[in-house]
Amino acid sequence: MKLIPASALVRLVLAGLLGVLTEVAGIGLVGTATWMIVRAAEQPPLAALSVAIAAVRGFALVKGGLRYAERLAGHDAVLRVLADLRARAFAALTASRGRVSSGDVLSRVVSDVDGVQDAVLRGALPAGVAAVVGLGGVAGLAVADPAAGLALLAGLVVAGVVLPWAGHRLTAARSGAIAAARGELTAATVDVMHGVAELSAFGALPAALADAEARGHRLAALEARSATVAAVVGGIAAVVPAALAVWVGVVAGGSSAAVLALVALAVGEVVVPLAGAAVRQTELRGGLHRVRALLATTVDDLPSDEHDGPLAGTVDLALRGVTVRYGDDLPPALTDVDLALPAGSRVAVVGASGSGKSTLLAAIAGRVPLASGTVDGMPGGAAAWRVAGGVFADAHVFHATVRDNLLLGRDGFDDAALRQALVDAGLPEYADRLDDLVGEDGGKLSGGQRQRLLLARALVAAPPVLLLDEPTEGLDAGAADAVLDSALRAAGERTVVVVTHRAAELGRFDRVVRVEEGRTTSG
Ligand SMILES: Nc1ncnc2c1ncn2[C@@H]1O[C@H](COP(=O)(O)OP(=O)(O)OP(=O)(O)O)[C@@H](O)[C@H]1O
C-alpha cells in the first residue's frame, strides 16, 4: 500500500533539489569566505577581493532564500500527503467497523500518520540531500586534491552510513514495541475517560489510573532508550566533520589547505543529522507498518457518491448459504443460513442471547463480511447499505442535535417529515425539540428514548428493507406494542425484519425466524 501518492512525489523531488542547492550555497559561502580571509592576509589591493566579497554576500542571501523555499516545498508536499493519508485512514477505519478500539483509532490517525511527516521531512529528504551533496563534495575535492577527496569520502561513510546503521541496529528490536505501547496507552486513556463514572462507582478508578500510568512509564522507558542511543550516535557524528576538516587540511597541505578543510567541514555537516534521524526512523517503522496495515483494510462497501442515499421502492432479497465468522479461530456466528425476504414481508427474528440474531441483520445489511454464501437481489449492484438498514445493536447516537441525528448529513427532508418520524417512532416529546443536543452517544436521553431516536432515524432513511434490532427495548408492554404498530404502518410496502424478545409481538408478523447457535429455522 503506497503511503505517498505520485503527485506528491514531484513536490518532494523539488524540495530535495532546493535542499541540495541550499547546501551548495552554504559550501560556496564557506569556501569563498575562507579563500577571502586567507587572501586578505596577504594584503592584496582591495580590487582583488571585490568579486569574492560580492560572492560571499550573494551566497549568504541566496542560501537563506533557498532554505526558505526548501522548507515551504517540503512541508507543502508532506501536508498534502498527510491530508490524503488521513482521509484514507478514516475511510479504512470506517470500513473496519469497531475492530479497532477508539483509543487505538486516535493513535493511528494522529501519531502513526504524523510519523509519515517525520519519516519524510527528517528522514528521506535529508538523506537524499546528504547523498547528492556528499558525493558532489567528494568529487569536487578529489579534483583539487585526490587524497583530500578520499579522506572526505571516508569521513562521510562513517558519519552518514556506519553511525546511522549502528543506531538503527541498536534500536530496531524495540521499534514495534514503541508503536504498540503508544497505541495501548492511548486506548487505556480513552477507556478511562469514557468509563470514569463507572470506574468510580465500582471503586476501580485508582486501579485503572495506575494501569494507565504503568503503560505511560513503559512507553517512556522504551523511548528513553531510543533517545539515549540517538544522543550517543548523534554526538559521535557531530565530531566527525571537525576531525575530518583537520585531517583533510593535513592531507592537502599548502596554501589551499584551509579552503579544502573548511569545504570538507561544510560538506561533512550535511550528514551529521542522519545518525539521530536513523534512530527516529527505526522508532517510526512500527507506526508506519500500522498505517500500511490500516490502509490495506477493504473499503469496498463505503458509499462512493456522497449524494447516494437509501434506494426508494421495494426489493426482493434472499440469503443463500450465508456463513459469518468474526475470527478465523472463532466458531461461526451464522452457519449456512437461507432466508427469503420478499418485498413487503414482515419477519420477526427470535432466539436466545448470543444465538446470532444481530449478526443476521448485519449480514443482510452488508455490515459484516460473508465467509460464504450470498445475499441475492441487490438492485443493479447497489451497495448493501442503500438497500437494507435501520436500527442495529451497535448503533451510535452523535453528540449533536435531534435533527442532525435523524438526518446524518443528508438533506431534502423538511422538519414536518422529521416530526412525523419522531411521532411514528414513539418519541413525540422531541417533535418540537429538533434543535436539542442529545449528549455524547445520546447520554441526555433515557435508554428507551435513545432506542426510539434510532428508530425514527431508520424511518427517515426508509430503505427498501428495514432492519430493526429490538426497536422497542426499554418500553413497557403497552407502549412497545403501540410503537411497533406505528413503525410497521410507517414502513408501508417495505420489507421489515425485527429482532424481538417479546412473544406478544409475534402475531404482527408473516413469519417468525428462530435463530439457534447460528442456524435458522422458520415458523
Ligand atoms: N464483533 C464481534 N466479534 C466477535 N464475536 C462477536 C462479535 N459480535 C458478535 N459476536 C459473537 O457472535 C455470536 C452471535 O452474536 P449476536 O450479537 O449476533 O447475538 P444475538 O442473538 O444478537 O444476541 P443478543 O440477543 O444478546 O443481542 C455471539 O457468540 C457473539 O459473542
**pLDDT tens, the chain, 523 aa long:** 567 777 788 888 999 999 999 999 998 998 899 889 888 888 888 888 899 999 999 999 999 999 999 999 999 988 888 888 888 777 776 665 555 555 566 666 666 777 788 888 888 889 999 999 999 999 988 998 898 889 889 889 988 999 999 988 888 877 778 878 887 888 888 888 888 888 888 888 999 999 999 999 999 998 898 888 888 988 898 898 888 889 888 888 777 788 888 888 888 888 888 888 888 787 777 677 777 777 776 444 444 444 467 888 889 999 999 999 998 889 999 999 999 999 999 999 999 999 999 999 999 998 888 999 999 998 877 788 889 999 998 888 888 899 999 988 777 789 999 999 999 999 999 999 999 999 888 889 998 899 999 999 999 999 999 999 999 888 888 889 999 999 999 999 999 999 998 888 899 999 999 999 999 987 6
The Å distance, Cα 359 to ligand 1 centre, comes to 6
Q: How far apart are CA 374 and CA 352, in angstroms?
A: 25
Average pLDDT of every residue of the chain: 86
Rounded to whole angstroms, the Cα distance separating 159 from 240 reads 6
Q: Is the CB of 353 under 6 A from ligand 1?
A: yes
- Cα 58 from Cα 52, distance rounded (Å): 10
CB-neighbour burial class of residue 396 (10 A; exposed 0-12, middle 13-18, buried 19+): exposed
Report the C-alpha gap between 215 and 221 in whole angstroms.
10
Rounded to an integer, what distance in angstroms lies between the CA atom of residue 89 and that of residue 114? 12
Contact 471, 479 (CB under 8 A): no
Where exactly does CATH 3.40.50.300 map onto the chain?
317-522
Mutation test residue for ligand 1: of 337, 357, 502, 517, the one with most atoms within 8 Å of CB = 357
Q: Are 55 and 32 in contact (CB under 8 A)?
A: yes
Is the shortest distance between the CB of 500 and ligand 1 below 6 Å? Answer: no
CA distance 178 to 102: 19
Among 100, 326, 470, 501, the mutation site with the greatest number of ligand 1 atoms within 8 A of its Cβ is 326
With cell 427517515, the residue in question is 460
Burial 254-274 (b: 16+ CB within 10 A, else e): eebbbbbbbbbbbbbbbbbbb
User: Looking at domain 6-295, what is its CATH homologous superfamily?
Assistant: ABC transporter type 1, transmembrane domain (1.20.1560.10)
Q: Which atom of ligand 1 is nearest to the CA of 98?
A: 1
Domain 317-522 = CATH 3.40.50.300: yes
Output the pTM of the full model.
0.61
Q: Whose CA is nearest to atom 27 of ligand 1?
A: 353
Q: Give residue 308 CA to ligand 1 midpoint distance, Å.
A: 30
Ligand 1 atom nearest to CA at 359: 18
Question: 315 CA to middle of ligand 1, Å?
Answer: 27
**328 burial level (CB within 10 Å; 0-12, 13-18, 19+):** exposed
Q: What is the pLDDT of residue 277?
A: 85
- Cα separation, 95 vs 301, in Å, equals 7
Evaluate whether 515 touches 354 at the Cβ level (below 8 Å). Answer: no
- CA atoms of 267 and 171, how far apart (whole Å): 27
C-alpha to C-alpha distances, 125 to 12, 64, 265, 275, 283, nearest whole angstrom: 8, 18, 21, 14, 17
Give span(s): CATH 1.20.1560.10, the chain.
6-295
State the CB neighbour count (10 A cutoff) for residue 237.
24
Ligand 1 contacts CB of residue 519 (under 6 A): no
Q: Backbone phi, then psi, for 42, in 5-degree steps?
A: -85, 0
Residue 356 Cβ < 6 Å to ligand 1: yes
**Whether the CB of 477 sits within 6 Å of ligand 1:** no
Helix (H, G, I), strand (E, B) or coil at 326: coil
Pick the closest to residue 265 from 284, 246, 237 (CA basis). Answer: 246
Which residue type sits at 100?
V
Task: Please provide the DSSP assignment of 428-464 as one string.
Answer: GGGTT-TT-B--GGGTTS-HHHHHHHHHHHHHHH--S
Separation of alpha carbons 24 and 18, rounded Å: 10
Distance 421 CA to ligand 1 centre (A): 29
End-to-end CA distance of the chain: 48
Cβ(358) to ligand 1 under 6 A?
yes
Cell numbers at residue 14, please?
523539488
